Chains A and B, each alone.
Chain A
Amino acid sequence: MSVGLVSALFVAVALVAVGAFVATWRKDLTAGLAGLPLMFGGAGVAFAGAARFSAAGDPKIFGQEVAAIVAVAALALVALGVGIAGRGISR
C-alpha cells in the first residue's frame, strides 16, 4: 500500500466535490456554507500533496503555507457568511 501524488490529488478532488455537493444540496443557504471549508480543505490537501511529492528541492514548505492560508480563508468566509445571515437578529 502506497500513497502518491495521484492519490493525494484524488482525495483532494473528492473533498472539493463533496464541498460543492454540500453547498448545492442544502436548502438552507447558511447551512450550505459548510461546504466552503471542505472545498478549501481539498485545495489545501492538493497543495500539501504537490509539495510533499514534488521533485523540487527542500524545504517543501510552500504548499504547507498555502494550505494554512487557505484554511484561514475558509474560516473567514464562513464567519462572513454567518455574520451576513445573522444580520437583523440582534443589533
Chain B
Amino acid sequence: MDSLHAIGFYVSAAISIGGGLLVAFLPGRGARGLALGVSGVGITGLYASLSADFAGLVSLVCFAGCALLIAAPRYRTVESTAGLAWRQAGAIAAAGLFAVLAYAAFRGDFVSATYTGGEVGAAAIGRLLFAHDALTAEAMGALVVVALVGATAAWRARDRGR
C-alpha cells in the first residue's frame, strides 16, 4: 500500500472513530444522525483504502439509511431503566473490550496455512446451500419461518389480552 492510500486509510479511520464518538455525546437526533453519516463516510474511505470498493458503496448506502432512521423525528424514545452507574460500567466494559481486542490484534500470531477446501465465495456458498445441502437449507428456512410466525402470533395474542 503506497503512502497516499495509507494517508487515506488513517484519515478515514480518524473520521469514522471521531464520528462514532460524536454519536455517543451529541444531543439531538439530527446531530446524531449526521455524526453517524460522517462515520459512515469514514468507513467507506476505509473500505476504499482496502480495495473493497463495492463493500464501501454498499456500506455508504446502508449508513445513510441508518442515519436517516436515527435522525427521524417519529420514533418513540425508550428510556433505559439502567442508572448512570450501570451505564458507566458499560462504558468501562467497552474500554476493556477495546483493550483486549487491541492486544489480540497486536500480539496475535497469524500463521500461513494452505486452504484445501476449494473455492471460497458467495457462488460456492450458494452452490453448497442450494445444490449440495438443499434439503437442509430448506428445512432451516421453514423452521425460521415457523418460529417467526409463532412469535408474531404470540405477540399479537398478548397485545389483545392487554
Contacts and interface: CB of A to CB of B under 8 A. Distances in A.
A16 B80 contact: no
A5 B110 CA distance: 10
B36 A34 contact: yes
Interface in A44-83: 44-45, 48-49, 51-52, 55-56, 61-65, 67-68, 71-72, 74-75, 78-79, 82
Contacts of A20: 90, 93-94, 97
What's the interface size class on B, roughly?
35 or more
Contact of B79 (A22, A27, A68): A27
Summarize A's interface: helix, strand, loop or mixed.
helix
A87 B155 CA distance: 13
Given A24-B87, A26-B24, A74-B62, A89 B94 contact: no
26 contacts: A2-B1, A7-B9, A8-B50, A10-B106, A13-B105, A15-B20, A25-B91, A26-B80, A27-B79, A29-B78, A30-B77, A36-B66, A37-B40, A41-B43, A45-B43, A48-B55, A51-B50, A62-B121, A64-B54, A65-B122, A67-B58, A71-B55, A75-B62, A79-B65, A85-B78, A89-B75
Interface of A: 1-3, 5-38, 41, 44-45, 48-49, 51-52, 55-56, 61-65, 67-68, 71-72, 74-75, 78-79, 82, 85-90
